[in-house]
Amino acid sequence: MKSIKQKTAPVRLNKFISECGIASRRKADMLILEGRVKVNGKVVRDLGVKINPLRDGVIVDDLHLKQEQKVYYLLNKPKGFITSTSDEKKRKTVIELVKTNKKIFPVGRLDYNTTGVLLLTNDGDFANLLLHPSNRFEREYNVLLDKPLSKVDKEKLLRGIVVQKRHGSFKNITPLNKTQTRVKVTTEEGRNHFVKNMFKTLGYTVKRLERTRFANFTVKNIPVGCYRKINKSELNKILNKFN
């Protein structure tokens, strides 16, 4: 499966080398300056050069580069895993839950004990598309509060409050039980700890948090701690939003 963004447009040479898994962009720049990179048989030393990955041949030293296949996974994140590729404290990471030989990374973050929908990929364009605030992809969460949500506070959260020095709001709040200690919230915000901080600002503690939807992705029929590959039709639904 190709990247969510079809690679027909020119891309910077250092980006292409990096996406092939050869080196970081900074290291790729060094390889170019050292004259170790050829494009269509000719040595290239210009850092500003762009190539078309579908047409141009790139060689680093004697290695013919081929763009790494893009992969997309949907994980039902369990508690006790950090949303990172590594951890200096040696805690378990979500990367350990997905069996792949690709260098994948999580799309956005979920807290250590937050569960639910988490996407992982090696496609930076796909991740940026989903996470950029201007694209307004919805996130949906099931929230367990330490006390009932009052009508007044519910209205405040829908109108918007200042949280993390910026205005924030929920698009929808739906009670999940009679006491309104369990609610479902929908938001387009992707800031770290956003849901917890929204409630904390009004004096509530979030005791349990589960992300049930991100864009059109849910973990229905995926057991906690398990994952599946995202199929092409699901990816096309994301692309169609911008067609």
Query: Which residues have a Cβ under 8 Å from the Cβ of 45 and sit 6 or more positions away?
Result: 32, 33, 35
Cα separation, 9 vs 51, in Å, equals 8
Cα separation, 115 vs 80, in Å, equals 9
**Residue for token pair 């990247």:** 3
Our measurement of the distance from residue 71's CA atom to the centroid of its chain's CA atoms, rounded to an integer in Å, reads: 13
Q: Which of 111, 123, 125, 153 is catalytic?
A: 111
Residue 70 tokens read as 């893009």
DSSP letters for 44-91: ---TT-EE-TTT--EEETTEEP-PPPP-EEEEEEPTT-BSSS--TT--
Cβ atoms of 73 and 119 closer than 8 Å: yes
DSSP letters for 108-125: S---TT-EEEEEEES-HH
Active site residue 111: yes
DSSP letters for 160-208: -EEETTEEE--SEEEESSTTSSEEEEEE----TTHHHHHHHHTT--EEE
Residue 135 tokens read as 């694209």
Q: Which residues are catalytic?
A: 111
